[in-house]
Amino acid sequence: QGGGSAVIDMENMDDTSGSSFEDMGEMHQRMKEEEEEEEAEGEAGAGEEEDGEFLGMKGLRGQLGRQVADQMWQVGKRQASRAFSLYANIDILRPYFDVEPVQVRARLLESMIPVKMINFPQKIAGELYGPLMLVFTLVAILLHGMKTSDTIIREGTLMGTAIGTCFGYWLGVSSFMYFLAYLCNAQITMVQMLSLLGYGLFGHCITLFVTYNIHFHSLFYIFWLVVGGLSTLRMVAVLVSRTVGHTQRLILCGTLAALHMLFLLYLHFAYHKVVEGILDTLEGPNMPPFQRVARDIPVVSNAVLNTTAKAIALTL
């Protein structure tokens, strides 16, 4: 019995060990399958995360691009509206041209009368209507002088050259004198300098208009000294009243007087020649057109023709 029970126990142990081995194999297979499933799920999740990150970056870039485009559009729209309102708003320029004709006439007369009081700053009109009209008047006088002189005008009028000369002098010399006045500590603004120099051209208009119609050099020199000198003295006196220091006054007023008087000499003597030289350079010399001129046959040739005709008639 004892031996039989031992055999039975060994059989039971063998059965138990076999079943446990099978259970371990099944568990190992299940764990392997679970690991494979987890790896597959992990790979799928990683792919989804990568796709999400890619789509997120793409969406973020698109959003930033739209924001930048919107900002650029808003900035351009504000600048365009600002520029349009600046050019459309006439009130900005209205104070510089809001002047009565009586005031312009009085300032034209004052431009020929030098001031006596230079101990305190003299008043300068801060308007540009009168100076602008004087510049256009000077342009018209120059064109009139070109027509009344011996200068040959080709290819239309020379309005562009006259406008460039007059406006170039007015704007260029005014800017240069304003810079020089700034260096010399003169109390004057750019608009006041434009107005002062513009009204100073009134003497030039009178001198050139008279001397273009009456061609006498002596008359021109008289008007140059008297009329041009009075308008120059007016500007010099105003600048002296607004400048402190003898050296600064000498530099500023001497430069303005020299430029103003020399410009009048240039307009009377050299302007027409310079313009004619420019035209010759651009268009070539003024060559007269080719013309056929009828010439008389000399008497000798007539006699030869007559004798030749008689000889032919006799032979026939």
Q: Are 143 and 159 spatial neighbours (Cβ–Cβ below 8 Å)?
A: yes
User: Which 3 state secondary structure label does DSSP give 261?
Assistant: helix
Does residue 245 lie within any of the structural domains? yes
The reply to whether 239 and 127 lie within a common domain is yes
Q: Would 177 be classed as within a structural domain?
A: yes
Q: Find, among 254, 228, 230, the residue nearest to 240 by Cα.
A: 254
- Residue 77 and residue 134 share a domain: no
pLDDT of residue 98: 84
Task: Kindly state whether residue 240 falls inside one of the protein's structural domains.
Answer: yes
Q: What is the pLDDT of residue 132?
A: 93
> How many domains are there within the chain?
2
Residues 89 and 192 in one domain: no
Longest dimension (CA), the chain: 191
Q: Classify residue 50: in a domain, yes or no.
A: no
Helices (H), 93-216: 94-97, 101-110, 129-148, 159-183, 190-200, 202-213
Inter-CA distances, 266 with 15, 101, 140, 208, 259, Å:
134, 31, 16, 11, 10
Q: Is 75 found in the same domain as 154?
A: no
Q: Is there a domain that residue 209 lies in?
A: yes
pLDDT for res 134 = 94
Give the CA distances from residue 44 to residues 32, 36, 55, 66, 92, in Å, rounded to whole numbers and listed in that order. Answer: 18, 12, 16, 33, 70
In-domain check, residue 54: no
HSE value, Cβ hemisphere, 13 Å, CA-based, for 206: 20
How would you write the pLDDT of the chain (316 residues) with one tens digit per residue?
444 444 444 444 444 444 444 455 566 667 777 777 766 665 655 555 445 554 455 566 667 777 777 788 887 777 766 666 655 566 677 788 888 989 999 999 999 988 877 777 888 888 899 999 999 999 999 888 877 665 555 544 567 888 889 999 999 999 999 999 999 888 899 999 999 999 999 999 999 999 888 878 889 999 999 999 999 999 999 999 998 888 999 999 999 999 999 999 998 888 777 766 666 666 555 444 434 334 344 444 455 456 655 655 555 5
Same domain, yes or no: 226 and 77: no
Does residue 212 sit in the same domain as residue 250?
A: yes
Residue 70: which domain range?
66-98
Mark whether 75 and 188 lie in a shared domain: no
- Regarding whether 254 and 129 lie in a shared domain, the answer is yes
Q: Is residue 34 part of a domain?
A: no
- Asked whether residue 6 is assigned to any structural domain, the reply reads no
Same domain, 76 and 185: no
Residues 79, 158 within the same domain = no
Same-domain status, 147 and 253: yes
- Say if pTM beats, i.e. exceeds, 0.85: no
Could you tell me if 239 and 154 lie in one domain? yes
